[in-house]
């Protein structure tokens, strides 16, 4: 093809047909320009396709992570709601004269939650930030919601979660060490793995304070349950609120994926 144009150019110059050569030169330049524009257009098109594929991958990754988070959040809401109901029932039973040692130990599994925490799955969001690919998100509503959840709601919730769990730990240590006999708690928690299976029967201990509702120990135990209830209900409110925000983002991402 190049040889063909060269022969034409050479023939026109030899024949001193400058006017024709001028138009030919313009045509050749236009062909080169058009070729360059086409090549640039194809390159840009490929870049946009690659960006779209990256964005789709990030959307799918976020959707997966957030779906797992929502399941965990909803499970924790149920856990602490159930435990809250158990505490309320325990406090209610404590007001009865018939509340005794059996009542004290038999109801523990219904309300005591061993320290459990929500840990968000943020691998996709971390990759997006570290790679500087947040600019790919053209949907401003989704971008704002992603940043709201991962940069604001999750960190704040984790901070409050740590504080609440530390309060529960210290409150339990200070107020339950001389209230319960932990040997009996482990034997009544419904978990065979924690059973001690002692060779000899446990020595029986008295809990006379249960019959004296004016005693300091009775009041301390009732206050412990009340404060623990407040902490549990705080978990429920926070987890449920964030679950709602996560559900909104999941819906936005799902709709966006349908249009991609």
Query: How far is Cα of residue 183 from the mean position of the Cα atoms in its chain?
Result: 37
Spell out, as residue ranges, where the chain has pLDDT lower than 70: 1-47, 188-192, 194
- The answer to pTM > 0.75 is yes
How confident is the model at residue 208, as a pLDDT? 86
How confident is the model at residue 33, as a pLDDT? 61
How confident is the model at residue 169, as a pLDDT? 87
Domain range annotation of the chain: 69-258
How confident is the model at residue 233, as a pLDDT? 96
CA distances from 248 to 63, 215, 238 (A): 11, 50, 16
Choose among 112, 110, 103: nearest CA to 86. Answer: 110
How confident is the model at residue 28, as a pLDDT? 63
How confident is the model at residue 152, as a pLDDT? 96
Biggest distance spanned by C-alpha atoms of the chain: 125
Q: b/e for 136-157, b at 16 or more Cβ within 10 A?
A: bbebeebeebbeebbeebbeeb
């Amino acid at each position: 093809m190049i040889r063909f144009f060269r022969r034409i150019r050479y023939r026109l110059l030899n024949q001193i047909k400058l006017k024709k050569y001028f138009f030919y030169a313009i045509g050749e330049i236009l062909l080169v320009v058009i070729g360059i524009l086409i090549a640039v257009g194809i390159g840009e098109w490929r870049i946009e396709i690659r960006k779209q594929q990256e964005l789709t991958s990030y959307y799918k990754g976020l959707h997966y992570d957030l779906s797992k988070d929502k399941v965990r959040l909803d499970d924790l809401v149920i856990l602490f709601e159930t435990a809250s109901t158990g505490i309320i029932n325990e406090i209610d039973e404590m007001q009865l004269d018939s509340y005794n040692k059996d009542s004290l130990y038999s109801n523990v599994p219904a309300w005591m939650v061993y320290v459990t925490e929500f840990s968000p799955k943020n691998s996709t969001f971390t990759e997006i930030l570290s790679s500087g690919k947040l600019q790919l998100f053209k949907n401003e509503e989704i971008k704002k919601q992603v940043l709201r959840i991962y940069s604001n709601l999750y960190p704040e919730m984790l901070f409050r979660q740590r504080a609440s769990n530390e309060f529960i730990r210290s409150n339990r240590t200070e107020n339950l060490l001389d209230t319960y006999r932990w040997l009996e708690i482990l034997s009544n928690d419904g978990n065979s793995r924690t059973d001690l299976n002692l060779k000899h029967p446990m020595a029986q201990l008295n809990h006379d304070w249960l019959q004296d509702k004016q005693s300091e120990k009775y009041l301390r135990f009732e206050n412990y349950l009340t404060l623990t209830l407040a902490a549990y209900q705080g978990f429920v409110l926070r987890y449920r609120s964030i679950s709602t925000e996560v559900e909104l983002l999941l819906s936005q991402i799902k709709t966006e994926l349908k249009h991609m």
